[in-house]
Amino acid sequence: MKIIKTSIADLLIIEPDIFKDERGYFFETYNLNRYYENGITADFLQDNEAFSNYGVLRGLHYQLAPYTQAKLVRVVQGRVLDVAVDLRRNSPTFKQWISMEISAENKRQFLVPRGFAHGYSVLEDQTIFVYKCDNVYHKASERSINPFDPSLNIDWGIPKDKILLSPKDIANPNIEDAEFDF
């Protein structure tokens, strides 16, 4: 397994070891000991899966303390542009974001630590997105940021007129009006 550090501390890209032959491929999607050996010590409690078609944008989501969540995300089928925004007020990269393409083909994983807003745009029909969380979902603590906040200026990789948002995500505040406690 290869761990790639990004320009934002604690936001990691993980490339698993993939074993291919004439039968197909095999890889470990998660191994507690190997992750701990590499300094990834989140205790994952919940797995989630989402199916979406091209143009769906989900995010930017997070939860308030004490229900904050670290997420280990990957794509089983299709591809997404995954985005994480640093909401840690004392971080030198506060309000900065990183995006990366995650696909069934590249098998990359993205470790999004606590203190980040997270979202993704779906770049291909019939995409299956899965992720582990180190805390359970808590509806009353759920918060979101407008994915089109002009101060963030995120390029979601899809023409804006092709993007499909939930009614809840359409109503999200910009980052300067959002509530967060990191």
How does pLDDT run across 118-138, given as a tens digit for each residue?
Answer: 999 999 999 999 999 999 999
What is the tally of structural domains in the chain?
Answer: 1
Q: Of all residues in the chain, what percent carry a pLDDT higher than 70?
A: 100
Question: What is the set of active-site residues?
Answer: 61, 131
Please check whether residue 116 lies inside any domain of the structure.
yes
CATH number (domain holding residue 135): 2.60.120.10
- The mean of the pLDDT values for the chain is 96
Tokens of 111: 């470790």
Domain that residue 46 falls in? 2-177
Q: Is the dihedral of CA 145, 146, 147, 150 positive or negative?
A: negative
**Per residue in 22-67, pLDDT tens?**
999 999 999 999 999 999 999 999 999 999 999 999 999 999 999 9
Report how far residue 62's alpha carbon sits from residue 3's, in angstroms, rounded to the nearest whole number: 24
Q: How do beta strands 12-15 and 19-21 pair? A: unpaired
Classify residue 37: in a domain, yes or no: yes
Question: What's the pTM?
Answer: 0.95
182 is a domain residue: no
Cα torsion 131, 11, 142, 76 to 10°: value is -20
